[in-house]
Structure 1
Amino acid sequence: MDKHIILTILSSCILTVLGLGPPFPGDDFIRIKELPPAAVIARNSGGLTLSCSMAGSPTPSVAWFKDGVHLAGTQDNPGGLGETWARLNLPCITEEDAGIYECRGEANGHQTTTSTKVDVIGHTHSGCIPRNRGGSAPKITGWYSTVMITSGLSVKLSCSVNDDAGKVNVVWKDAMGKEVKESDTVALHGHDLYINGVDWSHMGRFTCTAQNGFGVDMISTFLYPLAPAFSDLSNMV
């Protein structure tokens, strides 16, 4: 029997038995999915949230910057194929917050950027607690909404939390709603979840919940294991 036919049959059997998605044969890329507004007028002492997302292969890192300074988002590429979100929260806005904010994405050397111009109007009002003074509710600023990763590889699921939230309790839960505990294949570092040797049993939606005495925030990541590349299957024949 022709080797190509054997490989096709074998790959089909593997997908059926293991419940894996097909391998992703495409080239590296990155593109904007959720586009933030080009311009925003914010009121002095008010609040503003800017969000953007980018999809790519490998799953991109996405973050917000102002004047070259990293403000919020992720800084790592977990590999695979997926979509990443970056969310910037600006409470108690002042005139110093006016300017150009850039949402930058990077995936294996491929980069793309979009920007938002923020203008601040009005006068300062009492009752607005300046940032970095006192406690605040946690806000998750960077995460992966979807990660598709080749079965057998390791993956990092990010749950970046704003620094000014202070001490935060972070809990990860799996697709069954059970709290994720460390094991031989699962590790928790900071707020992030690491899974070694991803397989079909890991498929599903993981949730990250960040909580302190001032509030709670939650995001979710859908993890989807892919079949090994066709070339990898040939080594099994």
Structure 2
Amino acid sequence: MYLAFLVAAAALVCGAASSNVNRHMKLLDVDNRIQSNSISRVPPRRSITFTKRPPAKLVHRPGSTVELTCEAIAAPAPSVHWFRNDVPVYEYDKESNEILDSNPTSLARVSSTLLLSRAEETAKYTCLVVSGSKTARRSSVVFNIDGGTDLSERSKLAPLSPRVLVWYKVFVDVMGSNVALPCRVRGHPRPHIIWRDHYGNDVKSDPRMKVLRSGELVISNLSWTDMGEFSCTATNMFGSAEITTFLYPAKPSDTSD
């Protein structure tokens, strides 16, 4: 069932590449010792593991920006949803609600950040992580010290340099799969997004790859040659932001275990 957990190395993988893979696999709590023509079995995850969670309580002072971040590891690759007093967060922060179709054979470490730039009344914000039929949540109570609000349309359109809010730090799936790597960005004016492969080339040069308006990179028919760091760069007139996702194509199992 969990074919993506059969992490395999291709023949003649050099020592430097092996070290690079092992370094990234540690982000998934995976001990992946790559050897030529070897296959290491990675036990399937039975639960969602938080690697970073928002504080239980914090204060939002007028004129400041509060950042709430959730990071989690799960299989299938998890998605993150934010709630304010149990109501989904949409409007200007809708880009921080990551909704992706995830293959059951995938494994990933996801990072999602909610930016609170306007001082609102005290509220509970919840990070909900979903992985297949599994869910986990962590909440943070954000106190507004003066009770003031600024909900004007103008405040939503204030100049803002790009911030990447949702991405996978590491993503594993079976070769031959169609995968989607998120790069959800907030900024005003709307940032321009460019994805580059592990050679530094614009992915648009590969017919198997497509960048959606949402910022997601869709890769068809995942192959071993796709292994490596993919970078997403978001740019507008006020600055730029970049993240990287390490993509690992796994070899399907030849056994029934």
Q: Give the alignment's TM-score, normalised by structure 2.
A: 0.74
Q: Deviating runs (4+, > 6 A) in structure 1?
A: none
Residue 102 of structure 2 corresponds to 78
The change in CA–CA distance for 1:44 and 1:15 in structure 2 (over 3 A counts) is closer
- Written as runs of structure 1 = structure 2, the 5 A alignment for 1:101-140 is 101-122=125-146, 131-140=155-164
Structure number with greater CO (CA < 8 Å, separation at least 6) is 1
Which of 168, 177, 192 aligns to 1:144? It is 168
Distance, in Å, in 1 between the alignment partners of 2:12 and 2:227 is 11
- How big is the shift at 1:41? 1.3
Residue 17 of structure 1 corresponds to 11
Do the aligned partners of 2:167 and 2:245 also contact (CA within 8 Å) in 1? yes
Q: Which has the larger radius of gyration?
A: 1
Distance, in Å, in 1 between the alignment partners of 2:207 and 2:53 is 39
Partner of 2:221, secondary structure, is: coil
- Written as runs of structure 1 = structure 2, the 5 A alignment for 1:1-237 is 15-17=9-11, 22=40, 24=42, 26=44, 28-67=46-85, 68-70=87-89, 71=93, 72-79=96-103, 80-91=106-117, 93-96=118-121, 98-122=122-146, 131-162=155-186, 165-190=188-213, 191-231=215-255
The change in CA–CA distance for 1:166 and 1:116 in structure 2 (over 3 A counts) is same
Distance, in Å, in 1 between the alignment partners of 2:228 and 2:131 is 24
Letter in 1 for 2:207: D
Do the aligned partners of 2:81 and 2:88 also contact (CA within 8 Å) in 1? no
- How big is the shift at 1:22? 4.2
Letter in 1 for 2:88: V
Distance, in Å, in 1 between the alignment partners of 2:198 and 2:217 is 14
Equivalent residues, number:
218
The change in CA–CA distance for 1:131 and 1:231 in structure 2 (over 3 A counts) is farther
The change in CA–CA distance for 1:229 and 1:213 in structure 2 (over 3 A counts) is same
Letter in 2 for 1:183: D
Letter in 2 for 1:226: A
Partner of 2:203, secondary structure, is: coil
Distance, in Å, in 1 between the alignment partners of 2:238 and 2:82 is 24
Letter in 2 for 1:113: R
Distance, in Å, in 2 between the alignment partners of 1:77 and 1:83 is 15
- How big is the shift at 1:95? 3.2
C-alpha root-mean-square deviation of aligned residues, in Å?
3.0
Q: Deviations over 1:187-207 (max 9, x none)?
A: 121111111111221111111
- How big is the shift at 1:229? 2.0
Do the aligned partners of 1:151 and 1:197 also contact (CA within 8 Å) in 2? yes
Gaps of 5+ in 2: 1-5, 14-33
Q: Deviations over 1:121-157 (max 9, x none)?
A: 2487xxxx96313332222111111101111111100
Letter in 1 for 2:203: V
The change in CA–CA distance for 1:17 and 1:104 in structure 2 (over 3 A counts) is same
The change in CA–CA distance for 1:219 and 1:169 in structure 2 (over 3 A counts) is same
Do the aligned partners of 2:203 and 2:210 also contact (CA within 8 Å) in 1? no
- How big is the shift at 1:23? 5.6
Tell me the percent identity.
27
Letter in 1 for 2:222: V
Distance, in Å, in 1 between the alignment partners of 2:169 and 2:217 is 14
Q: Give the alignment's TM-score, normalised by structure 1.
A: 0.80
Letter in 2 for 1:51: T
